[in-house]
Amino acid sequence: MIRQSLKYRKTITVIGFLCLLLLVYLLLILKRDINDKVTSHQRLSKKEERIFESEPKREKHVKLAKMELDKNIHSTIKELQDAKARIEHLEKKIAILEGRIPEKYPDVKYLGYKERKRILVTGGAGFVGSHLVDVLMTQGHEVIVVDNFFTGRKRNVEHWFGHRNFEMIHHDIVNPLYIEADEIYHLASPASPPHYMQNPVKTIKTNTVGTINMLGLARRVGAKILIASTSEVYGDPMVHPQPESYWGHVNPIGPRACYDEGKRVAETLAYSYAKQENVSVRVARIFNTYGPRMHVSDGRVVSNFIMQALQNLTITVYGNGKQTRSFCYVSDLVDGLLSLMASSYTLPVNLGNPVEHTIEEFAMIIKNLVPGCRSTVATGAAVEDDPQRRRPDIAVAEANLRWSPKVTLKDGLQRTIDYFREELSRTTFYNNQTYMDINVKPHN
């Protein structure tokens, strides 16, 4: 009992001592908190006194802080503007890259190796050539485009890039070309006056030396060749309308002679090769043609008038405006070229639209087709050696090819105006940028 009592007493003593220590510790903490509060209050009072005593100095600090804030805001705005510019630059780069990759190839018919032909189109990236390439590709043939891009553009045929049936060769036909082909459409040559007058010697060489090279290629590989001639071989005609039997009225030393005489020599070369080397030749005399993919600055009547009307500029008619032209839509011309190549007719054939309009009438037709056009029609100086009347006699084509134009002038011009409007609104590359006329059915 005594031991147990001593044990309890010792335990109570220890607990009491611990409680005393705890109490002392709490009193010390409380005292320190009070001292801290007093000190803090004293410091705050002194700071308030200093601020109160030096109010101008405080205002100076506020102004400095505000200036620093404004500087930071301007810096942030500049950084945002730089970031926006970089984003826009990257978006343009992405658009260019996307524009080079076709989303989907146009539908192409499958042909077996017996039906499928290997077809060469010189000048295939040009206005008429690219439309011809579209039809040949959709028919299922293998197409080789040769172009030096003097007037042609890759954009005209880029929707076929990468297709197994399509091949592009950057080449000038003034130099020999060694490839295999079953048929050759020889369309290579600048065709608008500003383009062929820009380098007349080059124009003559393309239509003479270039034609010799293509005829030589046709002879070597046994290919059938179609020579794209022109209504310009008739010059300023004395016979109206112009039949294929008319020999023409051409100035051999005038500003247009490089093209007129170059094409006349090309025809002579074609029939010389046909007689001497038994080359199978076809010759198409192409009259004024218009449609999408025309070069916006080629100086032709259609492109000039449409561009001026869309921009509300003065529509300029050179001369008195009474000279006449006949305009054929490009799909009709392509259909005629295909029909001529497939036929057995070997003499020259006129391909054009026999519906004739004066240039003055044509300017008013285009003006009325452009909504809200405020352009006026004015006359300018006449162009040297400009033909006064131009209309094809297409009796030979109708009889031997069963061909005649189908697209009306109004419909064709509306499609062409839509194309030029899109060209004017273009600011960068983008997908589906190549105009392919889905309304035109492939030639069977």
Residues with catalytic annotation?
259
Tell me how crowded residue 209 is: count the other CB atoms within 10 A of its CB: 15
Tokens of 211: 């034609």
Rounded CA Rg of the chain: 41
What distance in Å separates the CA atoms of residue 366 and residue 410, rounded to the nearest whole number?
A: 9
Burial 405-440 (b: 16+ CB within 10 A, else e): bebebeebbebbbebbeebeeeeeeeeebbbbbeeb
- What is the 8-class DSSP label of residue 392? B
Tokens of 80: 């945002």
Tokens of 306: 């449409």
Burial, 49: exposed, middle or buried (Cβ in 10 Å; 0-12, 13-18, 19+)?
Answer: exposed
What is the sign of the dihedral through the CA atoms of 260, 264, 265 and 269? Answer: positive
Contacts by residues 159-165 (CB-CB < 8 Å, ≥ 24 positions apart): 159/102, 159/105, 159/106, 159/434, 159/436, 160/102, 160/105, 160/133, 161/100, 161/102, 162/102, 163/105, 163/108, 163/137, 165/108, 165/137, 165/140, 165/141
Tell me how crowded residue 195 is: count the other CB atoms within 10 A of its CB: 19
DSSP 3-state of 33: helix
Tell me how crowded residue 254 is: count the other CB atoms within 10 A of its CB: 14
Tokens of 378: 């004015």
Q: How far is CA 416 from the centre of its chain?
A: 14
Q: Specify whether the CB–CB gap between 142 and 113 falls below 8 A.
A: no
Burial 217-252 (b: 16+ CB within 10 A, else e): bbbeeebbbbbbbbbbbbbbbeeebbebebebebee
**Residues forming beta bridges with residue 317, ordered by sequence position:** 379
What distance in Å separates the CA atoms of residue 16 and residue 428, rounded to the nearest whole number?
A: 91
